Amino acid sequence: MPGVGRLIEYRSMETIAAISGYYERGGEVDRLSVGRGRLEFLRTRDVLRRLLPAGPARVLDVGGGAGVHARWLAADGYQVRLVDPMPLHVEHAGAIAGVEAVLGDARRLDEADAAYQATLLLGPLYHLPERGDRVTALREAARVTAPGGLVVAATISRYAGLYDTLVRGRYLEPDVRRITDAEVVTGVHEPFDRDLFTLAYFHHPDEIVAEFAEAGLAPATRYAVEGGAWLFADRDGWLEGDERTVALLDAVRSVEQEPSLFGISSHLLTVAVVR
């Protein structure tokens, strides 16, 4: 099990290499189809559908993974190009009708200036523990987005790991507790279980606004994705697609922009219009 002393080592490592073992196992193909992933999917789609310009428009899905969001975006009429550093993800996404998928890195997009009406970063910022890399990725997103277009970035809450290890009962394990406590302070998520997650950065809700501003993306607006609902004991029962699901989504939407609730949400979407 890695120790907190390895944080410095991770920070200087090539981050893509550090995360590839986790993603090569193929979990992204159906991660968003059940449980907390299903809630993340439904809420992310709900927010994006209200914010994106009407189709057809060109959308760049950076770190789009296996294409879970690209699939519905293409079905909604958007022209979707997906960029991801994992060959397995590009292979899966490229097989979706209407989705063009290529290998690439959010920090160096091989795209023309102002070519898209919206650029999504729904994952890359999780895996860039260096602040400079995250701001570079946001600058690249701004560069390839046309004036008046949107940049949307997802981040994981600084406190998600703490609540997750508590809910799973793993916080009682001394090593997990030590790593989790350090993560609350540093934001760097040290992987302690190869099946749970990989090297990541967990943002304080205010930190992403400052990163957007440094990348020239201000003012930024934030939306809590799950709010506190990902922690419900009977969460999956609320997601069976009946009237309880509708009520849950309505409730989470009604407080999605309440700042005092941002930190309890597992994910946050931050949005800015490119000037």
Binding site for ligand SAM (CB under 6 A): 16, 19, 23, 28, 32, 62-65, 68-69, 84-86, 89, 105-107, 122-124, 126-128
Closest distance to ligand SAM from the beta carbon of 125 (Å):
9
Closest distance to ligand SAM from the beta carbon of 15 (Å):
6
Closest distance to ligand SAM from the beta carbon of 94 (Å):
13
For residues 6 and 108, which CB has a smaller minimum distance to ligand SAM in the complex? Answer: 108
The residues with which 57 forms a beta bridge, in sequence order, are: none
> In terms of DSSP bridges, do strands 221-224 and 267-273 run parallel, antiparallel, or are they unpaired?
antiparallel
Closest distance to ligand SAM from the beta carbon of 137 (Å):
7
Phi, psi of 181 (to 5 degrees): -65, -40
For residue 153, give every residue at least 6 positions away whose Cβ sits within 8 Å of its Cβ, in sequence order, or none. 120, 121, 122, 125, 138, 141, 208, 212, 269, 270, 271
Q: Is the dihedral of CA 188, 189, 190, 194 positive or negative?
A: negative
**Among 23, 98, 30, 87, which residue's Cα sits nearest to residue 59?**
98
* Cα–Cα distance for residue pair 44/223, rounded to 1 Å: 9
Torsion-angle region of 57 (φ positive above 0: left; ψ -120 to 50: alpha; else: beta)? beta
For residues 48 and 220, which CB has a smaller minimum distance to ligand SAM in the complex? Answer: 48
For residues 12 and 260, which CB has a smaller minimum distance to ligand SAM in the complex? Answer: 12
Closest distance to ligand SAM from the beta carbon of 260 (Å):
25
- Can the peptide bond before residue 56 be classed as cis, meaning omega within 30 degrees of 0? yes
For residues 36 and 127, which CB has a smaller minimum distance to ligand SAM in the complex? Answer: 127
Closest distance to ligand SAM from the beta carbon of 261 (Å):
21
For residues 124 and 205, which CB has a smaller minimum distance to ligand SAM in the complex? Answer: 124
For residues 3 and 69, which CB has a smaller minimum distance to ligand SAM in the complex? Answer: 69
Token digits of residue 196: 């749970």
For residues 128 and 215, which CB has a smaller minimum distance to ligand SAM in the complex? Answer: 128
Closest distance to ligand SAM from the beta carbon of 70 (Å):
8
For residue 147, give every residue at least 6 positions away whose Cβ sits within 8 Å of its Cβ, in sequence order, or none. 114, 274, 275
For residues 76 and 173, which CB has a smaller minimum distance to ligand SAM in the complex? Answer: 76
Task: Evaluate whether 135 touches 211 at the Cβ level (below 8 Å).
Answer: yes
Would you say how long the chain is, in residues? Answer: 275
CA atoms within 13 A on the CB side of 244: 9
Closest distance to ligand SAM from the beta carbon of 174 (Å):
28
